Chains A and B, each alone.
Chain A
Amino acid sequence: MSLARITSALVLVFGVALSGSTPVQAEPVRRVVVDRIVAVVDREVITLVELRRRAAPHLLKLASLDEATRPVAEARMYREVMDQLIDGRLIARRARMASIVVTASEIDTALDSIAQANHLSREALLAEARTAGFSEADYRDEVHSQLLSFKCLRVYLAGKGKEKTSGEMSNAQMQEATRAMIDEMRRGVYVEVRL
Chain B
Amino acid sequence: MITRAGLVLAALVVLGTPACGGAGEGARAATPARVERAKSEPARAQEPVLVCAETRESVPADQIARIEIHGARVPPELCARVKHGIGRSLDEQRVDDDVRALYADGRVEDLIVFREEGPRTVLVYAVRMRPPIVSFEIQGADPSGALPAGVVLERPEVADPAIVRVMTSDATREMQDAGYLHATVDFEMTPRDGGVALVLRAAPGPRAIVRAVRFEGPSSERARELSAAMRTAAGKPLERPALERDVLVLQADGYDKGRLTTTVAEPEIIESDGGAAVEIVLRVTEGPVFRLGKVTFEGDLIGPVKTYERDFWTLKSGAIFSRTVVATDIERIRAFHETRGSVVDVNPSVELDAARGTVDVKVRIEQRR
* A contact residues vs B (CB 8 Å cutoff): 11, 14-25, 27-37, 39-40, 42-45, 47, 49-50, 57-58, 61-62, 76-77, 79-84, 86-87, 106, 109-110, 113-114, 117-118, 125, 128-129, 132, 134, 139, 142-143, 146-147, 150, 161, 166-167, 169-171, 174-175, 178-179, 186-195
Residues of B within 8 A of A29 (CB): 116-118, 122
Q: Residue B22 contacts which of A30, A77, A175, A191 (CB distance < 8 angstroms)?
A: A175
Q: Residue B14 contacts which of A16, A134, A147, A178 (CB distance < 8 angstroms)?
A: A134
The answer to whether B124 and A22 touch across the interface, beta carbons within 8 angstroms, is: yes
Q: Which of B162-170, B292-300, B310-318 is near enough to bind chain A?
A: B162-170
Residues from 295 to 347 in B contacting A, C-beta threshold 8 Å: none
Residues from 1 to 16 in B contacting A, C-beta threshold 8 Å: 1-11, 13-15
Residues of B within 8 A of A62 (CB): 19
The answer to whether A191 and B15 touch across the interface, beta carbons within 8 angstroms, is: no
The answer to whether B116 and A31 touch across the interface, beta carbons within 8 angstroms, is: yes
Binary A-proximity of B32-65 (CB < 8 A = 1, otherwise 0): 0101010011111111010000000000000000
Q: Residue B96 contacts which of A50, A170, A171, A178 (CB distance < 8 angstroms)?
A: A50
Q: Residue B162 contacts which of A36, A42, A146 (CB distance < 8 angstroms)?
A: A42
B interface, over-half SS: mixed
Q: Can you spell out 26 A-B residue pairs with CB atoms less than 8 angstroms apart? A: A11-B112, A16-B40, A17-B40, A19-B43, A21-B47, A22-B47, A27-B118, A30-B118, A31-B115, A32-B114, A35-B113, A36-B99, A39-B27, A40-B103, A42-B165, A43-B163, A44-B100, A47-B100, A80-B23, A80-B24, A106-B2, A117-B11, A118-B11, A142-B10, A167-B3, A191-B28
The answer to whether B6 and A146 touch across the interface, beta carbons within 8 angstroms, is: yes
Q: Does B29 contact A (CB under 8 A)?
A: yes
B301 to chain A, nearest CB (A): 33
The answer to whether B5 and A171 touch across the interface, beta carbons within 8 angstroms, is: yes
Q: Residue B112 contacts which of A36, A45, A77 (CB distance < 8 angstroms)?
A: A36
The answer to whether B99 and A58 touch across the interface, beta carbons within 8 angstroms, is: no
The answer to whether B95 and A18 touch across the interface, beta carbons within 8 angstroms, is: no
Residues of B within 8 A of A57 (CB): 19
Docked CA distance A81–B161 (Å): 24
Residues from 334 to 366 in B contacting A, C-beta threshold 8 Å: none
Docked CA distance A77–B124 (Å): 29
* B contact residues vs A (CB 8 Å cutoff): 1-11, 13-15, 19-24, 26-31, 33, 35, 37, 40-47, 49, 70-72, 90, 92-93, 95-96, 99-100, 103-104, 106, 110-119, 122-124, 126-128, 160-166, 169, 173, 265-266
The answer to whether B11 and A195 touch across the interface, beta carbons within 8 angstroms, is: no
Docked CA distance A139–B8 (Å): 15
A143 to chain B, nearest CB (A): 6
Q: Residue B23 contacts which of A11, A34, A37, A83 (CB distance < 8 angstroms)?
A: A83
How many contacts A-B (CB < 8 Å)?
234
A133 to chain B, nearest CB (A): 10
The answer to whether A17 and B110 touch across the interface, beta carbons within 8 angstroms, is: yes
Docked CA distance A147–B1 (Å): 10
Q: Residue A150 contacts which of B3, B23, B30, B103 (CB distance < 8 angstroms)?
A: B3
Residues of B within 8 A of A82 (CB): 27
The answer to whether B117 and A132 touch across the interface, beta carbons within 8 angstroms, is: no
Residues of A within 8 A of B166 (CB): 42, 188, 190
Q: Apart from A36-B113, A43-B160, A146-B9, what 13 extra A-B contacts exist at CB < 8 Å? A: A20-B47, A22-B70, A29-B118, A34-B115, A45-B103, A47-B99, A82-B27, A118-B15, A129-B14, A142-B13, A167-B5, A167-B6, A178-B22
Docked CA distance A76–B19 (Å): 11
The answer to whether B31 and A20 touch across the interface, beta carbons within 8 angstroms, is: no
Docked CA distance A110–B7 (Å): 7
The answer to whether A36 and B96 touch across the interface, beta carbons within 8 angstroms, is: no
Residues of B within 8 A of A147 (CB): 2
The answer to whether A35 and B23 touch across the interface, beta carbons within 8 angstroms, is: no
If A114-B7, A190-B31 touch, whether A84 touches B20 (CB-CB below 8 Å) is yes
Q: Most chain-A Cβ atoms within 10 A of its Cβ — which of B71, B112, B114?
A: B112
Docked CA distance A123–B9 (Å): 19
Residues of B within 8 A of A37 (CB): 99, 103, 110-112
The answer to whether B9 and A34 touch across the interface, beta carbons within 8 angstroms, is: no
Residues of B within 8 A of A132 (CB): 14-15
Docked CA distance A15–B42 (Å): 11
Docked CA distance A10–B115 (Å): 15
Docked CA distance A77–B18 (Å): 10
A21 to chain B, nearest CB (A): 4
Docked CA distance A30–B116 (Å): 6
